[in-house]
Structure 1
Amino acid sequence: MSISATIKSIQDIMRKDVGVDGDAQRLSQLVWMLFLKIFDDRETEWEILQDNYQSPLPEPYRWRNWAANAEGMTGDALKSFLDNELFPSLQQLPAKGGDQRAYVIRSVFEDAYNYMKSGQLIRQVINKIQEGVDFNKAQERHLFGDMPNGVFAPYTGIKTNLLFFSKGTPTQNIWFYEHPYPPGVKSYNKTKPMKIEEFAAETAWWGSEADGFSQRVENPQAWQVSLADIQARNYNLDCKNPHVGEQEIHDPEQLLAQYQTMQADIAALRGQLKNILAQALADRRA
């Protein structure tokens, strides 16, 4: 079953629940449920790749332990578990040893809510997700494109990154490409936007997927990071350009701005997931 068909089935189930009123609540409900399923799929991969992997989630709240079994918890017991145990715990999840994944989980649940009232219908939704969503299919993340500030001004000033994927073997290395401003340009805006011609350097550098992008080479804008290095960074993909000298920042205003940007990035990612789900629902209604 395709992801679109799965979402359509879930939407039909949620319509039967008296606690879910409209697409906004259905999408909000889907976001946190899909997030936990996606995270569990990724943890399966991390457990294989890391000798001593430790989940940032307490064992009872990992998807595999409360949701994956189609004959598992349901009814009032499931409803009580979500409202009184899982949500309060994840909304205050501590980060063990500064594990960035714990911060991401907590940020997802801080504004989330379990709208559904029927534990039986919640179980049906969970089973649909378990059956129809599998993020562990072989897929390689091969490029992380770092775009300058102002690309989407005036709508947002958040720094933008583009991720490119290729089907095939699991990820071993990730390429990073930092798109520079053209000479004389300090920022983009509505009247002076980014132009397609600026991507000529990326086009020439890109290479061919047929040979695994073997012709790519590092340059002042491009560098490669191994999976082992990404794991050592707790999967933090904010990898600075090694060809640019390190600039240590002591100004508290700048540090505060960086922190606010990080928080905005997390909110933006959550919003992107909602938009994807909203589009899927719209496609089904069309």
Structure 2
Amino acid sequence: MPAAKPTASLSAVIKRARDVMRKDAGLNGDADRIPQFAWLLFLKALDDLDESREVTDPEYRPALASPYRWRDWAADSTTRRSGDALLTFVNQNLLPHLAGLTGSGAAGDTRETVAAIFRDTRNRMLSGYLLADLVDEVNKVSFVSADDVHTMAHLYESMLREMRDAAGDAGEFYTPRPVIRFMVNMLDPRPGEVVMDPAAGTGGFLVEAWDHMVRAADASETPAQQRAALRGTLRGFEKKPMPYLLGQMNLLLHEVDSPRITRGNALTFSAADQRRDGVDVVLTNPPFGGEEEVGVKDYFKTDYRTAETSWLFLLSVMERIAKSKTGRAAIVVPNAVLFDEGIGARIKARLLEEFNLHTIVRLPIGTFSPYTLISTNILFFERGGPTRSIWFYEHPLPQRRRSYTKTKPLRYEELADCEAWWGSDGRVHRVETSNAWNVPVTDLNNFDLDLHSPNRPDDLAHRPPVELIAELIDTETQILGLLERMQAEMAGRQ
């Protein structure tokens, strides 16, 4: 077996791999290079893990058979194809075979996962010689040792962070790890509970939830027994091919066992189907600011039909946790969700009537930098309404900081005060502070949740300009929404 490589060595492998890919005319930037590297890493990791399982479990059936296993076509540089022969095998044999795999239909079947990944995956490299060089670099990564897997997972996550610079279109803002960790810790998913992210992306919420549940597992069991007990407890949807590939790679590197991640749109199910296929915990940061295609809103009741993605995901999350006795959710939403009227007000009315919206954490400007300056919030709610009152918590910026930025992002340690205020006693001993306050639902004006702390002075002269600009943008957005509704009403009367 290859010797375990320290972080520095694995970093060097990744650097050399990227240098190889930069030479190929078919790859343009990290948006091409990282998916290319990812699917090769995926096949190497899958084969390494398969070989380990074959040793420990004689009944184990690998997902791939010869000659499509990594060990058959890529592992031995002395017999491996190169040049046009390698390109022909990869493009005409390997990738079509992987895309056409069929499984048992059971949740988490690896063959079906592989087929879903490679259905929209293609080899982007034009030089078979450079592809052979890249395969040689991937061969230097070992996924046999748990330490190697752990190290590679962290390095892979650093690559995913780099990809975020190309994100941000259609409201797809990758969630900062501190926000993910905070949301998971506050919801506290327990071993045996089913956790879902209906907009799974690269798998950040699911990986964090998995690690959280592993830490909470029965200490008397072996790590293998603990993971076996959690098998199949992660669920997710991702409709775009590249995030789906990266997410599956992320889960594989974190040794998540049999996740049920569906390549598709979580919104294309009726309310009844979503309730029937419900879960215990939902953690998500769905796309916002964009619109779904026309047919998607038809899956929702007439009173709630809208093309705005964030509203549809909020409705979907409500359905998913409605039947679980411990159903609870944390969802990132833009400020527009807090103040929106019309259909938005009707959806908020339902949320407050049927669920307990117990906490809204208001995040500061720049939390999602560099993708957007849109103000964002985390809604925490649970099954069992109606809501009587809502706790608000405004997370403050560090002293002498006007906003979070790409180079000075939010750190998890900065959320410690909110975690301490949250409490581990069922939220019964919360107190008002300069950042936290409680609002009875009867005091809300037309379900407007866009509230700021009454316990600190609203001194415009001392507030950061970027915060004032963001509030102006929110106000203009609200005015635009009102004008669009008036326009629609007037057009309907003609």
TM-score by length of structure 1 reads 0.56
The two structures, once aligned, show a CA RMSD in angstroms of 4.3
The aligned runs of 1:113-192 (5 Å cut-off) are 113-130=122-139, 132-139=140-147, 147=184, 160-162=206-208, 163-164=210-211, 175=214, 177=216
Where do residues 231-246 of structure 1 align in structure 2 (5 Å cutoff)?
235-236=257-258
- C-alpha deviation, 1:107, in angstroms: 2.5
**Corresponding position of 1:226:** 225
The residue aligned with 1:85 is 93
Name the residue aligned to 2:476: none
Cα gap change, 1:254/1:23 in structure 2, threshold over 3 Å: closer, same or farther?
Answer: same
- How does 1:196-211 map onto structure 2 within 5 Å? none
Residue 60 of structure 1 aligns to a residue whose secondary structure is coil
Work out whether residues 227 and 257 of structure 2, in 8 Å CA contact, stay in contact via their aligned partners in 1: no
Q: CA deviation at 1:80?
A: 0.8
| Counterpart residue identity of residue 253, structure 1 | Q
- The alpha-carbon distance between structure 1 residues 161 and 15, as it changes in their structure 2 partners (threshold 3 A), is closer
Query: Which residue of structure 1 aligns with residue 34 of structure 2?
Result: 27
Give 1:34 deviation, angstroms. 0.5
Q: Secondary structure at the match of 2:15?
A: helix
Q: CA deviation at 1:84?
A: 0.8
Contact 1:28 1:113 in 2 (8 A): no
CA, structure 1 residues 52+28, in 2 after alignment: closer, same or farther (shift >3 Å)? same
Q: Is the 8 A contact 1:150 1:157 kept in 2?
A: no
Distance in 1 between residues matched to 2:57 and 2:25, nearest whole Å: 43
Partner in structure 1 of residue 275 of structure 2: 254
- Equivalent in the alignment of 1:107: 116
Which amino acid is 1:133 matched to? Answer: V
SS at the partner of 1:13?
helix
Distance 1:177 1:89, change over 3 A: same
CA distance in 1, matches of 2:148, 2:130: 35
Contact 1:141 1:164 (8 Å CA) reproduced: no
- Residue deviations 1:54-103 (CA, integer Å, cap 9, x gap): 11113211100000011211111110111111111111211147361112
Aligned residues: 196
Give the number of the structure whose alpha-carbon radius of gyration is greater: 2
Q: TM-score, normalised by structure 2?
A: 0.34
Name which of structure 1's ranges 107-116 and 73-82 shifts more when overlaid on structure 2.
Answer: 107-116
Q: CA deviation at 1:160?
A: 3.7
Q: CA 1:50–1:119 in structure 2 vs 1: closer, same or farther (change >3 Å)?
A: same
Q: CA deviation at 1:138?
A: 4.2
Conserved? CA contact 1:147–1:161, under 8 Å: no
> 2-side partners of 1:135 and 1:74: how far apart?
24
- The change in CA–CA distance for 1:100 and 1:127 in structure 2 (over 3 A counts) is same
Cα drift, residue 21 of structure 1: 1.4
Deviates more, 1:51-60 or 1:30-39: 51-60
Gaps of 5+ in 2: 1-7, 151-180, 189-196, 233-255, 261-270, 286-494
Query: Higher relative contact order at CA 8 Å, sep ≥6: structure 1 or structure 2?
Result: 1
Separation in structure 1 between the aligned mates of residue 123 and residue 278 of structure 2, nearest angstrom: 32
How high is the sequence identity, in percent, across the aligned residues? 29
Equivalent-residue separation in structure 2 for 1:253 and 1:120 (angstroms) = 49
**d(CA) in 2 for partners of 1:67 and 1:140?**
20
Distance in 2, Cα, partners of 1:19 & 1:217: 52
Distance 2:101 2:89 in 1: 16
Amino acid across the alignment from 2:216: Y
Q: Describe the shift of the 1:50–1:252 C-alpha distance in structure 2 as closer, same or farther (beyond 3 A).
A: same
Structure 1 unaligned segments of length 5 or more: list them. Answer: 166-173, 179-213, 239-249, 265-286
